[in-house]
Amino acid sequence: MEMQCNSVLTSLHGHQTPTLKGMVQKLDQKLPVANEYLLLSGGVREGVVDLDLDELNVYARGTDYDMDFTLLVPALKLHDRNQPVTLDMRHSALCHSWLSLRLFDEGTISKWKDCCTIVDHINGATNYFFSPTKVADWFHDSISIVLSEIQKKPQRGMPKVEKVEKNGTIISIILGVGSSRMLYDIVPVVSFKGWPAVAQSWLMENHFWDGKITEEEVISGFYLVPACSYKGKKDNEWRLSFARSEVQLKKCISSSLMQAYQACKAIIIKLLSRPKAISPYHLRSMMLWACDRLPANYLAQEDYAAHFLLGLIDDLQHCLVNKMCPNYFIPQCNMLEHLSEETVMLHARKLSSVRSDPAEHLRTAIEHVKAANRLTLELQRRGSTTSIPSPQSDGGDPNQPDDRLAKKLQQLVTENPGKSISVFINPDDVTRPHFRIDDKFF
């Protein structure tokens, strides 16, 4: 589920409650009054947004929460540009930018200057740069004040606040609704209507979604999220995010490829998390590249999820060894170029182990999912009988890997000893390269 909403934690599963964000806005009127939030199914740890995961505390489904969401909350908005949006990337790596408040009116500067770093120029002018770390600190403090007030005066039907934690620039809240626990990773962002100039050339290429959705749907807007590059300045640098576009692109991806992606993510999410190297967002990017490279009729085959899973593992290995994973929207940005040879070889060995017996690794991942589901059901049985239905209690999540896929994997590996079955290569045309960056192929 991905949705845009004008209020959040309002009408939460049928409960009419004051909006948390509305109450934060009333504290000091910093947030835009008419705001539009993007609610994404899956927490930040699931790779729904390109954020750094090494600063996040570890939460486990079943033990800590039952359902997870990511909520993008615009602190600032820039609207209705008829030309490509040009960002200040002079101080940043590709896919990153500083944001000067000179783009905004005096009222906005006055409101937010305590969340800025200040640069004085020789000519005497002062430039305020919107600071992701200071904005995150303000947001956490504000949410903590509001939640404290809510807990002092609990209202009937109000979700119970079980945990509030600041993880880097993300605020994680776990709410009890009935006997279910909902994890919300809340991310303060800057919202733009339009499309960034740095990604303009991407629109000139052919893509898998051509003719399925309109260009207007894909390029309706983008975000700056609070994350910096490997050598960037944390206090000033924001990362470009195309989460709004990815919601639209997901509609065009075949169910069998999505099943393979979910299964691959379940296998690698913990295996490759330490030391920091591959995140679920990297895997998502590789899947989008696959959709651009392969014939639609091949990807649409319903019984090919096992082929696609092996392909994703193969190409993950290829990307690791070559330290090359282009950002889907800004392909000149290589998201793995900072990795050390030691980290690459460590993870490449782990992936080789997975590739040698993928079915066993998938079965282990499936058992973890089942164990989490059992924990959730047990907690719900002990709790309220009026709990909201969870994905685990109504027949299982259709996106979760199952035993049939593991059996198919085992069969494929047995029948094709030593062969690489790559999702990025048409089985009938093994000459096709993996990635295009500008006019070059890799």
Amino acid at 351: L
> Which CA distances in Å does 225 have to 73, 218, 220, 442?
10, 18, 17, 29
SS3 38: strand
What angle (nearest 5°) sits at the alpha carbon of residue 218, between those of residues 216 and 223? 110
Look at residue 280 and tell me if it is in a domain: yes
Alpha helices in 39-185 (DSSP H): 106-112, 132-152
What phi, psi does 176 have (nearest 5°)? Answer: -90, 120
CATH classification at residue 296: 1.10.1410.40
Distance CA 114, CA 376 (A): 43
Distance CA 187, CA 54 (A): 16
Of the candidates 207, 225, 248, which is a domain's last residue? 248
Of the candidates 335, 355, 375, which is a domain's last residue? 355
CATH classification at residue 228: 3.30.460.90
243 and 265 co-located in one domain: no
pLDDT of residue 81: 59
- 396 touches 296 (CB < 8 A): no
Of the candidates 334, 355, 376, which is a domain's last residue? 355
Burial class (CB in 10 A: 0-12, 13-18, 19+), 350: middle
CA–chain centroid gap for 268, Å, is 16
pLDDT of residue 366: 84
Burial class (CB in 10 A: 0-12, 13-18, 19+), 6: exposed
Distance CA 400, CA 410 (A): 18
pLDDT of residue 140: 93
- DSSP codes joined into one string, 344-380: HHHHHHHHHHHHHSHHHHHHHHHHHHHHHHHHHHHHH
SS3 70: strand
> Which CA distances in Å does 23 have to 9, 149, 278, 304?
11, 10, 37, 49
pLDDT of residue 180: 86
Give the residue from 322, 312, 346, 311 showing the smallest Cα distance to 419.
311
- 250 touches 31 (CB < 8 A): no
87 and 233 co-located in one domain: yes
Say how many residues make up the chain. 442
Token pair listed for 396: 């299982």
What is the total count of domains within the chain?
2
Look at residue 410 and tell me if it is in a domain: no
Tell me the pLDDT of the chain (442 aa) as tens digits: 555 443 334 433 333 334 676 777 777 778 887 678 888 989 998 889 999 877 788 888 888 999 999 999 999 988 755 667 888 888 888 999 999 998 788 888 899 999 999 877 666 678 899 999 999 999 999 988 888 887 787 777 777 888 999 999 999 999 888 788 999 999 999 999 989 999 999 999 999 999 999 998 999 899 999 999 988 899 999 999 999 999 999 999 999 999 999 999 988 877 877 777 788 899 999 999 999 988 889 899 988 999 999 999 988 888 888 899 999 999 999 999 999 999 999 998 898 888 888 888 888 888 887 887 787 777 767 654 333 333 333 233 445 566 788 888 888 777 776 666 655 444 444 444 444 333 443 3
Report pTM. 0.84
3 and 85 co-located in one domain: yes
pLDDT of residue 292: 92
Quote the domain boundaries for residue 170. 1-248
What phi, psi does 288 have (nearest 5°)? Answer: -65, -40
Q: How far apart are the first and last CA of the chain?
A: 34
Token pair listed for 62: 């079943």
SS3 354: helix
Strands 96-97 and 238-241: antiparallel
Beta strands in 16-93 (DSSP E): 37-41, 67-78
Which residues on adjacent β-strands are paired with residue 173? 164, 184
